A and B are shown apart, each in its own frame.
Chain A
Amino acid sequence: MSAGTTTHDSAPSGVNYLTNGYSLKSWLLTVDHKRIAILYLISITIFFALGGIFAAAVRLELLTPQGDMMDAETYNKMFTMHGVVMIFFFLIPSVPATLGNFLIPIMVGAKDLAFPKINLLSWYLYIIGGMFGLYVAVSGGIETGWTFYTPYSSTYSNSAVIATAMGAFVAGFSSILTGLNFIVTIHKMRAPGLTWGRLPLFVWAHYATSLIQLLGTPVVAITLVLMMLERAFRIGFFDPALGGDPVLFQHLFWFYSHPAVYIMILPGMGVISEVVTCYSKKGVFGYHFIAGSSLAIAVLGFFVWGHHMYTAGQSTYAGVVFSLITFAVAVPSAVKIFNWTATMYRGSIRVDTPMLYALGFIGLFTVGGVTGVMLATMALDLHLHDTYFVVAHFHFVMVGGMVLAFMSGLHFWWPKMTGKIYPEIWGRVSAVLVFLGFNFTFFPQFLLGYMGMPRRYHAYPEEWQVLHVMSTIGASVLMLGFVLPAIYLTWSVFKGKAAEANPWQAKGLEWNIPSPPPTENFPAPVVVNEEVYAYSHEEVKALV
């Protein structure tokens, strides 16, 4: 896809979005989507590090079966804060708020998002929510688990439940506003010639994500408010002692929090579609199926929440329906995997850092997906629910999936965002470390889970120590794999080689403008007259 009027290949002498003002104010009051993306990138990196520290505490404690490193309450706080920080303050904003914010306006050929000031407001809401989170972390912590199950959270816990829920509540609005902004931008601000069928799959994925953010997040916001009301004023919603129903909380909570796992994975899938095509130098296989599967996931994803509750006391018949729909939602995810694989067929493949991460994603997400099918099977869930099998499953999806996709995209667009090239060799080394460390950490947890190790256990029977030690060793390698990019990427900002406009010979509007882009993105209005992913020279309409 090239823009007829804008094909500057070399960086212009003029200012770009990074050099357009150096004062703190020019950053903190910016309405430029690219600068806001950078603000988000810095903030989520801090939260990722914080969540990583909590994870390290958990893994260290589990080195020994007795639970002797910290007391049970501290341990419970560690895994709770790991979950809260990673989910609400890292995974949910990760790709959309950084790469999405930076790229969506450019990919649709626009100057900015539809509502630049609201975009800035989103970031501030996120920061306010994050401040609640930090306040909780320093003022004694929370130990309800990130799921806030009632009546434990609303009646029994002695920790900072309300402050944490407020944090998630406020950050939720940041997510809603980002979704709104993306939807309006994608509908209204596409350049002439940029039809829906020419949108990059990254944009399609974000469109589907935004729908979930907009429709789902208000539900969790209300749920958290009800829980806070019950806790603060003893108004009975969920605590049976007050006439409430504890399972109702779970229904409301998962009505959002299951779709939220798609908020946390769809944008990553968008990244993979861009990276696989570029590094295979080939048009995408099954464009409509990949785009459509994003929408199918967004819609079906709203009707499967009960698969978290097979053992929770929901009606057995409701469970049957939820199980069936959960099996169905596995299909669109599988469709994507097959289409990416087919895209590589007869390509011209280079396995550079972003592609290494993307291939890692395909492998690990496949494992996350098939183990999800196991958990969707009601009988297996009788045994596996609330064990380490579930812990392993969702880390395969969230870390093996989303975090790897984020790393892939971050490396892929790093030259575009910073104007600098990162050292390729270090990129590959850390990608391999992440992949190996990840498998070492989480594969043993599948075995632990099948043997019956419950999750959220501070101490455990001795016979499981070997697997826990393996997992902790793996986690150390994984951590190293994440520390390295923090170092070499930061280094590259100051010392890296200057990047050209299109260092990877990629297609897409963002590669037609200088690196880093000027504040207004495109010097002149854009007209799109090319198909999406026009990498190939020879057109083959259908394979079979």
Chain B
Amino acid sequence: MNEKTLPLLPESASNLSPQIDALMMAELGFSVFFSILIFVLVTVFAIKFRRKSDYDVTPHIHGSLILELGWSLLPFAMILGFFVWGTTVYFKAYAIQPNDAMEIFVTGKQWMWKVQHPEGPREINELHVPVGRALKFTMISEDVIHSYYIPAFRLKRDVLPGRYTTMYVTPTKVGKFHLFCAEYCGTQHSGMIGTVYVQEQSDYEKWVAGGDESMSARGEALFGQYGCVTCHLPDGKGRGPSLVGVYNSNVKLQGGNLVKADDAYLRESILNPRAKVVDTYQSIMPTFQGQISEEGLLQIIAYIKSLEKEEGGQQ
């Protein structure tokens, strides 16, 4: 990233990069072909058919259905290919979760990027990840809309207040890369930048070992601090339901609807408990809107998830 020369392509450091570059080259070829075709035709016509006298006689050629159909349908068929190709790559980045993805939690805030790793380390305006490991980013903003953008990965996604967004990518090259905020977010928008460090697995493990408590341990502390434990007892005998094993289960709501307890549901249950009330319980849970930071929420959710993992064993 620090070369002074003018590279024509940014570094290619993720599984998406070669796919997006290949698609780009294909569309570039298509575009150059059509632009040059038009350029050449216009120039040739302007020269070949230049006006020789004011009394030049020209034919009125009204049109040609075959030509019209040809020059609409042929290019359209070609770009439909780009459409299909582009859509599949897009789904890889946004919708298809790779097996065994390592989770990264990003919180955007005017004007910094905070990252938490489940194992514990937290970093600001930096991101350390191991090479060759699929990543799942779960991102949220504390204030306005930001966008987490790593050009070398050819990937970005907006980071919204009030809602998690996710994306998936696998780094493929060890190195230092730019991290940007791509969505305008106020005065220091262009200062909301940082560095991505893609490391060898062993280096990454060393780096992680330097961190302190895990996210779920922090979440457990908050769970006690905010008094969640008083209602949510692990045996289900409290005033609120037990949260053991709730993650990714189907929760029955009042009125009979089922809802999948994903991250978004858990977050909503904490901030706006009345929006979806669990069946057979009363909606006595207070709202924690404005009291817990987004980072804290991610930690509590990590804790709730960990309850699922330990299910059967410890509880």
Contact = CB atoms under 8 A, between A and B. Distances in A.
Given A337-B38, A450-B9, A157 B56 contact: no
B42 A344 contact: yes
Kindly state the interface size class of chain A when it binds its partner: 35 or more
Contact of A377 (B83, B184, B186): B83
Interface stretch (B98-106, B118-126, B187-195, B209-217): B187-195
Interface stretch (A124-132, A166-174, A200-208, A240-248): A240-248
Interface string B18-35: 011001100110110011
Contacts of B16: 379, 382
Contacts of A371: 31
A251 interface: no
Interface string B51-77: 110101111111111111001100110
A87 to B, nearest CB: 16
Kindly state the interface size class of chain B when it binds its partner: 35 or more
B45 to A, nearest CB: 4
Contact of B160 (A247, A382, A462): A247
A451 B6 CA distance: 10
B145 interface: yes
B120 to A, nearest CB: 28
Interface in A259-276: none
Nearest to A290: B63
A283 B20 contact: no
Interface stretch (A326-334, A407-415, A433-441): A326-334
A386 B63 contact: no
A362 interface: yes
Contacts of A452: 10, 149, 151-152, 178, 180
A543 B163 contact: no
Contact of B45 (A347, A374, A460): A347
Contact of A543 (B41, B63, B160): B63
B156 A334 contact: no
A106 B91 CA distance: 53
B181 A328 contact: no
Given A283-B60, A313-B157, A327-B83, A345 B49 contact: yes
B71 A311 contact: no
A452 B1 CA distance: 12
Contact of B64 (A341, A367, A374, A544): A544
A157 B143 CA distance: 12
A450 B189 CA distance: 20
Contact of A385 (B52, B54, B93, B182): B182
Given A287-B62, A344-B46, A346-B49, A335 B191 contact: no
CB-CB nearest 3 A-B residue pairs: A452-B151, A240-B162, A536-B60
Given A373-B27, A451-B10, 19 more contacts: A73-B187, A149-B183, A151-B145, A152-B184, A313-B165, A320-B87, A341-B42, A349-B45, A363-B38, A370-B27, A374-B24, A378-B87, A380-B20, A380-B27, A383-B151, A535-B60, A537-B58, A538-B58, A539-B62
9 contacts: A76-B186, A289-B68, A334-B34, A346-B58, A359-B46, A379-B90, A450-B9, A454-B149, A536-B58
